[in-house]
Amino acid sequence: MAEAGNAIDPIHQFNITDLAPLHLFGVDASFTNASLFMVIVTAAVALIMVIGTSGSHLVPTRLQAAAEVFYEFVASTVRETAGDAGMRFFPFVFSVFMFVFFSNLIGLVPYAFTVTSQIVVTFAFALLIILIVIGYGFYKNGLGFLHLFMPSGVPVALMPVIVLIEVFSFLMRPVSLSVRLFANMLAGHITLKVFGAFVTMLLGAGVYALLAPLPMIGIVLLTAFELLVALLQAYVFAILTCVYLNDAIHPGH
């Protein structure tokens, strides 16, 4: 295994390489392969939405239908989870959903880099979301936002414990939100790479090469499953964003 270690290293796909080194005031601001794929993802989302919504035919074209499906899907999610007052956050949730979804999808293309498999990306997203929740919660409700940590109908004796638990679970939200997406993407891509390594190892193992199609079928099935996970994790990310925003809009429930 050691001599073949360099050829089939499942972690290698997550390495960040500098494409255009740039150091500003001691900060490493190089243009990396992660930055390149973020640009690609943003461009893909912008292209689909701009071209899809520019025609506005009565009978939609394929691209317009796709753009409308994305819009209606996210809009109904926001409206059901955060209510009509939450619709002012629709542009934000829509941007987050589309970026995460397209990063997951483009990351499934062989040799492509998965932006969302880097915890720094997902954690930056989660931190932004939780700061928006805290900021908007205090802006809208003032100190009433703190009712979020004091559920109504709890006996006074239990209150300190409940408040402690609620505060802790609130503080863990960005962690679980970011690690969920990052871990799903990381584990999925490592599994795909490991199955790919099975194929190459079997092909180089004499008569066992006859078994090589089995993991190959596995890769095809896993890729289909990863397509589902790509949509599912983007949906979970968006719906949890809505749930957290709902807490900021209507605290104390």
- 125 vs 127: CA distance, rounded Å: 5
Tokens of 164: 């402690």
For residue 205, the 8-state DSSP code is: S
Site membership for another protein, residue 77 (CB under 8 A): yes
* CB closer to another protein out of 52 and 237: 237
* CB closer to another protein out of 179 and 211: 179
Residue choice 63, 190, 243, 251 for contact with another protein (CB under 8 A):
243
Binding residues with another protein: total (CB under 8 A): 14
Nearest C-alpha neighbor of 109 from the set 189, 175, 179? 189
Residue choice 36, 40, 49, 183 for contact with another protein (CB under 8 A):
183
Site membership for another protein, residue 75 (CB under 8 A): no
Site membership for another protein, residue 231 (CB under 8 A): no
Site membership for another protein, residue 9 (CB under 8 A): no
CA distances from 248 to 30, 86, 87, 177 (A): 36, 10, 13, 17
* CB closer to another protein out of 208 and 225: 225
Nearest C-alpha neighbor of 247 from the set 182, 158, 160, 150? 150
Yes or no: say if 16 and 117 are a contact pair by the CB < 8 Å rule: no
Burial of 207 (0-12, 13-18, 19+ CB in 10 A): exposed
Site membership for another protein, residue 203 (CB under 8 A): no
Compute and round to an integer the Cα radius of gyration of the chain.
Answer: 22
Site membership for another protein, residue 175 (CB under 8 A): yes
* CB closer to another protein out of 105 and 238: 238
Looking up tokens 């193992």, which residue turns up?
Answer: 205
Site membership for another protein, residue 176 (CB under 8 A): yes
Task: Considering only the stretches 57-65, 73-81, 104-112, 207-215, report the one whose residues sit in contact with another protein under the rule CB under 8 A.
Answer: 73-81
Q: Report the interface residues with another protein, using CB under 8 A.
A: 77, 80-81, 172, 175-176, 179-180, 183, 235-236, 239-240, 243
